[in-house]
Structure 1
Amino acid sequence: MKHVRITALSLAMLAVSLPMREPLAQHSGHGHHHPTPSQPGTPAATSASTTDWADGEVRRIDREQGRITLRHGEIRSLDMPPMTMVFQVANPSMLESLAPGDRIRFKVVADGTRYRITALEKQ
């Protein structure tokens, strides 16, 4: 009888803890900028009409993939703090005149789950 109670208690604890598994997994990146889609500043919550110019420094360029790595300042329209990250560009020709170390101003919009640079100017 004691064995049946322990098994029943174990199953009850498992049933209660399984629904908590997913929220805990999503929260495991605490301290990093990984917003959820319902938060301001996420791709799903930001529209192209609210973009502002942001400043950045080119770190790497991948012309084949149309991507650029920038160390950027705050991007207010996305509620994003300064950091270094990779962006897709709207048109790979935007990368032709750039080199690592160049300072730029750029506009970025949310594109699904990614961020895409729609305009940039070399400074």
Structure 2
Amino acid sequence: MKHSLSAAILVVLLAASGHAADGHDVHHAAAAVAEASLSEGTVKKVDKTKGIVTLAHGPLLNLAMDPMTMAFAVKDPAWLLQWKQGNRIRFFADMVKGRLVVMRWEPLP
């Protein structure tokens, strides 16, 4: 009986560790999608009080959105101090709790 119980526990632990490793590939795939989904935009307005930036942007492929001008929340409010009207950026936006959020960005020349 002890051997059966030990074997059963071993099987469960091995299955769980294999399961944990499976999810690791998903993170790499998500990062690849994020990289491929960078969009370009121009800062139209920065509202530090509301914590939003208005961008005229190209297509947001990961969100299936056409080019338009719209407001985004930002992952890091300190970014709002770096942006000025007319700045061009490349960025990744995603839907977070029902809001469009700039998750990362880099300046464009």
The alignment's TM-score, normalised by the length of structure 2, stands at: 0.65
Alignment map for 1:41-80 (pairs within 5 Å) = 49=30, 50-51=33-34, 52-80=37-65
Q: SS at 1:95's partner residue?
A: helix
- Further displaced range: 81-90 or 111-120: 111-120
Decide whether the 8 Å contact of 1:66 with 1:91 is kept in 2.
no
Instruction: List, as ranges, runs of 4+ consecutive aligned residues in structure 1 with deviation greater than 4 Å.
Output: none
Alignment gaps of 5+ in structure 1: 1-48
Percent same amino acid among aligned pairs?
33
1:66-115, Cα deviation, whole Å (9 max, x unpaired): 10000000011111000000000011101212100110011111112211
Q: SS at 2:82's partner residue?
A: coil
- Structure number with higher strand proportion: 2
Q: Of 76, 84, 91, which residue of structure 2 is paired with 1:99?
A: 84
- Structure number with higher helix proportion: 2
Q: Give the alignment's Cα RMSD to 1 decimal.
A: 1.0
Counterpart CA distance in 2 for 1:115 and 1:108 is 7
Alignment gaps of 5+ in structure 2: 1-29
Q: Could you tell me which residue of structure 2 aligns to residue 118 of structure 1?
A: 103
The alignment's TM-score, normalised by the length of structure 1, stands at: 0.58
* Amino acid in the other structure paired with 1:61: V
